[in-house]
Amino acid sequence: MNVKNLIMGIVIALVLIMGGVFLFNNTTRSDKADNSTSDNIGDEKQADFEAILNNTQIKVGDGKSDVLPTINLVPRIIIFEDGTEVMFEVAEDFNISVAAEGLGKARFMAMSPDGRMFVPDLVSMNLSHEGKIYVLENFDEINKRFQTKSTYLSGLRGPNSVAFYTDKNGQEWIYIALTAHIVRYPYSAGDTEPSGDPEIITTFPNKQVPGESSVVWHITRTIKFYDNRLYVSVGSGCNACEQPEDEMRAMIYSINPDGGNKRIYADGLRNTVGFTWAGRELYATANGADHLGPQAPDDGMYKLIEGEYYGWPFCYELNGKIYPDTSRKWTQSFSCAQVPRSFSAFEPHAAPLGIEYFSKDAHSVLKNTFLVALHGSFEPKIGAGYHIVRVSKDGEQEVFMDGFLTEKRPQTGWLISTAYAHSDQPTGDIERFGRPVDILQNDVNSFFFTDDYKGRVYYVYAP
């Protein structure tokens, strides 16, 4: 008997045994209990057979497993231009370097068609008129740093995001998302400044919702192109309020490259700063409200459905359940029972921002997963976020990088605050070494991310 026949004999025997156990117990998989009928028994047995066959193939060495490797964090020491240093913890297959410094409040970056990195400097959340767009180029593969930094534009109000697009006539454009509007300029390879006049593509509400006194009204806008349409995320005009119906806020919508044909994609998202696609599916991060205390609500990552309403301001998510926000008296009635839950929830006030999807060709630690930048709680003492996390296609999370927030306790000295290191708010002296914002894949083994607290771009790579 050859090996192939032996294996098939084992497979058939196992299927028969499993079938007998199945009939004896008269049970089905728990995750299909509500929908199972006698009609799908054959399908389940076929699935069992295929699973056994696949496992058998793996054992003989000619198959592949989709199980993600567990992330083990290891220390990496970074030395900055001024001679100071910090220790981060990164997934053990990866290293990290500082690719650029002195970038102010570095936000959502983009690579130009000619391979240069454009990084917006927001300056501050107080709507400075001194915002800039930096250009980073001549990346040194040995030192893992950009050798050249220049200023492409200055005097901007609220630059948060940059995108590039080539139209049907072959003309390249650079799009810049500002607080009040999106502008575009003609772009040519090697440009050191815009080569034409700005064109306003669309405008945004440019003030807080009338009657609101909170300092929160979300001044940043994020833009990305997909299928020849420009997708735009716009945060709410308040922390928790019913906005004027004619204001397109707290949503993601799309427009033509020239600004026409505006279509709402998803609504009821208080502050969706980052979004990306996995295949043809749109995923986005969302920041919850601030008035419910340090332990609520959860922040989230959503697999968006076009036309869906995600509940803000009437509802919030906590510990896998959707609750009505009864802290306000609403003029509209709304049932939270119809609100979708998040694809993956983060702890309250973790502040998820940038999100990047790594396809099946990526490094084994990253393939078919997302990386999400948890910017961290506005109040450091809350101690939420301050990580980069890996999120699987099942919504499972693991910390990929840590060390942006440290705590000094008298008993233990400096402690890197990871998801595993503390479950409560920090009690000692706190120091922040960064706040991750955007993540941009470079190739199958590396990516960049921005830090708007220290004004840096980091490069993470598998050697």
What tens digit of pLDDT does each residue of 448-458 get? 999 999 999 99
Tell me what the pLDDT averaged over the chain comes to.
86
Predicted pLDDT of residue 83 = 95
Percent of the chain at pLDDT above 90? 75
Considering the domain architecture, whether residues 199 and 238 belong to the same structural domain is answered as yes
| 181 within some domain | yes
Considering the domain architecture, whether residues 183 and 289 belong to the same structural domain is answered as yes
Split at pLDDT 50, 70, 90, the class of 426 is low
Predicted pLDDT of residue 201 = 98
Q: For 340-344, what is the mean pLDDT?
A: 98
Predicted pLDDT of residue 164 = 98
Angle between helices 41-59 and 3-25 (to 10 degrees): 140
Split at pLDDT 50, 70, 90, the class of 427 is low
**What's this model's pTM, rounded to 2 decimal places?**
0.84
Considering the domain architecture, whether residues 44 and 149 belong to the same structural domain is answered as no
Considering the domain architecture, whether residues 124 and 20 belong to the same structural domain is answered as no
| 67 within some domain | no
| 357 within some domain | yes
Predicted pLDDT of residue 415 = 55
Return the CATH number at 355.
2.120.10.30
Q: Would you say 242 and 270 are in contact if contact means Cβ atoms under 8 Å apart?
A: no
pLDDT at 390 over 90: yes
Beta bridge partner(s), residue 132:
121
pLDDT in tens, 146-200: 999 999 999 999 999 999 999 999 999 999 999 999 999 999 999 999 989 999 9
Considering the domain architecture, whether residues 204 and 299 belong to the same structural domain is answered as yes
Maximum CA extent, the chain: 83
Split at pLDDT 50, 70, 90, the class of 414 is low
Considering the domain architecture, whether residues 233 and 279 belong to the same structural domain is answered as yes
Considering the domain architecture, whether residues 80 and 170 belong to the same structural domain is answered as yes
| 226 within some domain | yes
Single-letter amino acid, residue 287 = N
| 397 within some domain | yes
| 35 within some domain | no
Considering the domain architecture, whether residues 369 and 256 belong to the same structural domain is answered as yes
The Cα 43–Cα 38 span in angstroms is: 10
Q: For 295-312, what is the mean pLDDT?
A: 98
Predicted pLDDT of residue 411 = 65
Q: Would you say 135 and 144 are in contact if contact means Cβ atoms under 8 Å apart?
A: no
Q: Would you say 379 and 462 are in contact if contact means Cβ atoms under 8 Å apart?
A: no
Q: Long-range contacts for 143-152 (Cβ within 8 Å, ≥24 apart)?
A: 143/97, 144/97, 144/99, 144/459, 144/461, 145/97, 145/98, 145/99, 145/100, 145/459, 146/99, 146/100, 146/117, 146/457, 149/100, 149/102, 149/103, 150/192, 152/118, 152/191, 152/192, 152/193, 152/194
pLDDT at 314 over 50: yes
* Count of domains observed in the chain: 2
* Domain ranges, residue 15: 3-30+40-59
